[in-house]
Amino acid sequence: MTSRFTIPDHEVEISPIRAQGAGGQNVNKVSNAVHLRFDINASSLPEAIRERLLKLGDQRISKDGFVVIKAQEFRSLEGNRAEAMRRLHELIDSVAVLPKRRRPTKPTRNSVTKRLEGKTRRATIKAGRGKVSE
C-alpha cells in the first residue's frame, strides 16, 4: 500500500538504538532498533492533516506535536527503518480520510412498539421466577 503523502527525509529523524528483550549476545553488541521522530508542526503536510494528527489521541504523539515510533521487530537496521516509516505513513493515512458524517435518524413507530412488547414479555417471564407464597 502506498501512502497519499510523501514525507521528505529531512523532516524525519531516525536514530539507531539498541533493541530490548531477549536476543542473546548479538542484541548487546548491535544497535539495530530504530527510534523515529517526526515533528508534525514543522512538517510539509497540509494544514488539515496536521490539525487532525495533533487532535488524534494516539500515545505515539507527544504533547509537543512529535510522533515517536520505535521499531525493533527485525534483526536488520534497514528492516526496522522501513517498518518505522511504514507505521508513520499508516498513522498519517488514518487521519487523511474524513469519516462520514452521521445522519441522525429516529426509530420507526413499529420498531418502538416491538421493543416495548419484548420488554413486557421479558418482564412477565422474570416476574414468574419470584418466590411462591402459600
Q: What does the buried/exposed string (b/e) look like for 99-125 if buried means 16 or more CB atoms within 10 Å of the residue's CB?
A: eeeeeeeeeeeeeeeeeeeeeeeeeee
Query: Residue 88 — very low, low, confident or very high, per pLDDT cuts 50/70/90?
Result: confident
Q: What is the structure's pLDDT at 62?
A: 78
Closest listed residue to residue 21, CA positions, set 78, 70, 64: 70
Q: How far apart are CA 90 and CA 5, in angstroms?
A: 10
- For 6, how many CA atoms within 13 A lie in the half-sphere containing its CB? 2
Answer for the pair 3, 82: CB distance below 8 angstroms, yes or no.
Answer: no
Q: Tell me the three cell numbers of residue 67.
A: 510522533
The model carries a pTM of 0.63
Q: Tell me the three cell numbers of residue 95.
A: 487521519
Task: For the chain, give the mean pLDDT.
Answer: 82
Map out the domains of the chain with their CATH numbers. Answer: 9-96 (3.30.160.20)
pLDDT digits (tens, 9 = 90+) for 16-37: 777 776 666 666 666 688 888 8
